[in-house]
Amino acid sequence: MNNKEKQSSDKQITAKALTLYDKDFAEINEGEETIELLIFRLSNEWYAVELGAIKEIVRMSNITYLPLSPTHIAGIINLRGRILSVTDLKKLFDLAQEEITEETRLIVVEHGNMETGLMADEVTSVTKVLKRKVDPPINTISSNIKEYIKGEIKIGSKFIVQLNTDLILKKEKN
């Protein structure tokens, strides 16, 4: 493998390569519906997206500013010849901004012909959870954010917010 191929493979991490099942979450009985979630961090909060919505996970690259774009659009990147918008969820959710680090990743999600890269401060794991363990969003969440939340899950001592990527992508379109 030459240096260019190695750099390319180092920059791309597929969701399946991160598979890690949280054994202490719950015992899953045969026939019970489960979902697989990618867990990631934004600021000091934990979020998740369903694995089925994820196309790939890549290291952060240089973002080109896009004039007249909504504030939650950080810009665009060239991802192997494709132009991809980059969504800054921290701006969308009004979270504290952090510097881009070695752990910063873009989670490329798609729905139909729409796709975007969601900026994440850190991608930690993939876990399988019981659908019945996903609670609806709590009522105290701001109404402008609540529409992007599918549910909440408690895993160990962490509360994880499951995002509705379909609605995030619809916001990209508007």
Rounded mean pLDDT, 56-61: 94
> Comparing C-alpha atoms, which of 138, 135, 136, 163 is closest to residue 149?
163
The DSSP letter of residue 20 is -
* Least confident segment among 22-26, 52-56, 67-71: 22-26
Residue 14: pLDDT band (50, 70, 90) is very low
Count the residues in the chain: 174
pLDDT tens digits along 127-154 = 999 999 999 888 777 777 888 999 999 9
* Residue in 122, 86, 88 with CA at minimum distance from that of residue 103: 122
What's the angle, vertex CA 63, arms to CA 161 and CA 117, rounded to 5?
35
Domain limits at 21?
3-173
Looking up residue 71, the CATH number of its domain turns out to be 2.40.50.180
Whole-model pTM? 0.79
pLDDT at 113: 87
Q: Distance (Å, rounded) from C-alpha 122 to C-alpha 106? A: 9
Cα separation of 139 and 145, whole Å?
A: 11
How many domains in the chain? 1
Tell me the CA distances in angstroms from 11 to 46, 58, 102, 124, 151, one per residue in order.
Answer: 23, 6, 11, 16, 31
